[in-house]
């Protein structure tokens, strides 16, 4: 029986090829079976031995393509084996071949012999990337919904040019692969606007001191990535967090609950799915000091006042086509208070997740939860990565909306 997770990676000829070493190593350590194909140009940057060592399986080159070492053609075997196909770095040369159906090496023949989702991660000089012919090829290939794009970012390139053309970083590439292993490439959120709140708000009482919580925004970012990978237009309203946000996600950075409320309301009416995963403060200091208070001047007690209940306000404004989903971070019994919050705030669904379990909740890369909805359904999600949990939630929402 074939393993459940099979990823084929085609490495093109560019200095960014070194980044794919981290991708292969990380995928293998996470239980994914990896096969690699190197073009002739790629071997000038990284050797097949490197990838065979990291993947624990021989790396393939054009030399293997032209030798009858298998009972069936190698490109057919690899194309049928793969569940997800990554091509990175994608060069202008390989892009042109894919856009025009040219198959003159092992990599391009395998693309044509496969039917799985293909992730493309371009990397090239800014002037090359911005050439009209390259952009036409890029737009043409993306018309085929089998191909998924990891847009290049901007920065200092190996040619010392500062501009667009920098390949996506390994964590972003890995996240997209993990998403496609789950969705098999479906874009069930295409045409939808998904509004997500993330992180923990901060309620300052002077420029350096605030009331806050341990939320890091990792769960909200995972939700945004999952929605993006499923084809949605994503708006992320987030408090301060230490994370790189993928290209393609529209962001609104905020600090306080009032700022979060304002940003969410500006984007609420034209959103289809709203997920409030942020840990929003319940109270704030009644008085704000515009200069840092000396330690000797700190009050013995801090007068507090409530902040607006954002999700309750959203439920009052909710339109028939909208889905409003909340989060309930709890300790001890997580189900009872989540049911109560679901009905009291008129939500369509809620995610009850424990924050007192090891390797779960605030700050962790993993999470666990129970999904509840207004129809009385209850689905328990065992510990998994936050990206996996995000996809499970969108699966749950998809079945709920249908």
- Please report, for residues 187, 198, 221, 231, the alpha-carbon distance to residue 388 in angstroms, rounded to integers and kept in the order given: 16, 17, 12, 16
Structure tokens at 249: 């996600």
What is the token pair recorded at 105?
């090496």
Query: 281 by DSSP, 3-state: which?
Result: coil
Structural contact between residues 310 and 268, judged by C-beta atoms closer than 8 angstroms? no
The full length of the chain comes to 402
Distance CA 67, CA 150 (A): 33
Q: Six-digit token pair at 229?
A: 């990978």
| Catalytic hit among 21, 116, 159, 384 | 159
Peptide bond into 152 cis (omega under 30): no
Calculate the CA dihedral of residues 159, 161, 164, 169 and round it to 10 degrees. Answer: 50
Which burial class, exposed, middle or buried, applies to 96 when counting CB atoms under 10 A from its CB (0-12, 13-18, 19+)?
middle
Q: How far is CA 365 from the centre of its chain?
A: 13
Phi, psi of 68 (to 5 degrees): -80, 70
266: left (phi over 0), alpha (psi -120 to 50) or beta: alpha
Q: Whole-angstrom Cα distance, residue 344 to residue 369?
A: 20
Q: Could you tell me which of 321, 365, 383 has the C-alpha nearest to residue 225?
A: 365
8 Å CB contact between 91 and 41: yes
| C-alpha atoms less than 13 angstroms from C-alpha of 28 in its C-beta half-sphere | 17
What lies within 8 Å, CB to CB, of 269 at 6+ separation is 317, 319
CB 250 within 8 A of CB 227: no
384 is catalytic: no
Return the structure tokens found at 340: 């109560």
Task: Indicate the burial class of 86 (C-beta count within 10 angstroms; 0-12, 13-18, 19 or more).
Answer: buried
d(CA 122, CA 30): 25
Give me the active site residues, please. Answer: 159
């Amino acid at each position: 029986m074939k393993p459940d997770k099979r990823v084929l990676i085609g490495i093109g000829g560019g200095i960014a090829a070194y980044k794919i070493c981290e991708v292969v190593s990380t995928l293998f350590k996470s239980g994914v079976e990896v096969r690699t194909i190197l073009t002739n140009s790629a071997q000038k940057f990284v050797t097949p031995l490197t990838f065979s060592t990291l993947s624990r399986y021989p790396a393939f080159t054009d030399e293997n393509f032209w030798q009858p070492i298998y009972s069936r053609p190698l490109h057919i075997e690899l194309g049928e084996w793969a569940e997800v196909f990554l091509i990175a770095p994608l060069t202008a040369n390989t892009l042109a071949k894919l856009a025009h159906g040219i198959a003159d090496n092992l990599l391009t023949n395998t693309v044509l012999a496969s039917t799985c989702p293909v992730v493309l991660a371009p990397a090239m000089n800014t002037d090359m990337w911005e050439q009209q012919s390259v952009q036409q090829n890029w737009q043409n290939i993306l018309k085929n919904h089998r191909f998924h794009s990891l847009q290049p970012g901007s920065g200092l390139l190996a040619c010392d040019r500062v501009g667009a053309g920098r390949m996506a970083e390994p964590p972003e590439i890995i996240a997209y692969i993990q998403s496609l292993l789950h969705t098999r490439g479906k874009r069930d959120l295409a045409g939808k606007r998904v509004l997500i709140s993330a992180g923990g708000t901060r309620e300052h009482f002077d420029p350096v001191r605030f009331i806050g919580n341990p939320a890091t925004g990792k769960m909200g970012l995972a939700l945004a990535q999952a929605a993006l990978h499923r084809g949605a237009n994503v708006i992320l309203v987030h408090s301060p967090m230490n994370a790189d946000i993928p290209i393609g996600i529209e962001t609104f950075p905020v600090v306080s609950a009032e700022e979060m409320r304002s940003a969410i309301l500006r984007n609420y009416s034209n959103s289809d799915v709203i997920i409030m995963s942020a840990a929003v403060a319940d109270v704030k200091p009644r008085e704000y000091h515009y200069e840092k208070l000396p330690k000797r001047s700190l009050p013995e007690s801090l007068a507090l006042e409530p902040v607006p209940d954002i999700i309750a306000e959203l439920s009052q404004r909710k339109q028939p086509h909208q889905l409003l989903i909340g989060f309930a971070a709890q300790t001890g019994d997580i189900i009872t208070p989540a049911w109560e919050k679901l009905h009291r705030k008129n939500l369509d669904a809620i995610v009850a997740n424990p924050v007192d379990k090891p390797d779960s909740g605030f700050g962790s890369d993993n999470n666990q939860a129970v999904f509840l909805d207004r129809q009385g359904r209850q689905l328990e999600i065992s510990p998994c990565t936050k990206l996996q949990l995000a996809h499970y939630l969108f699966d749950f929402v998809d079945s709920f909306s249908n």
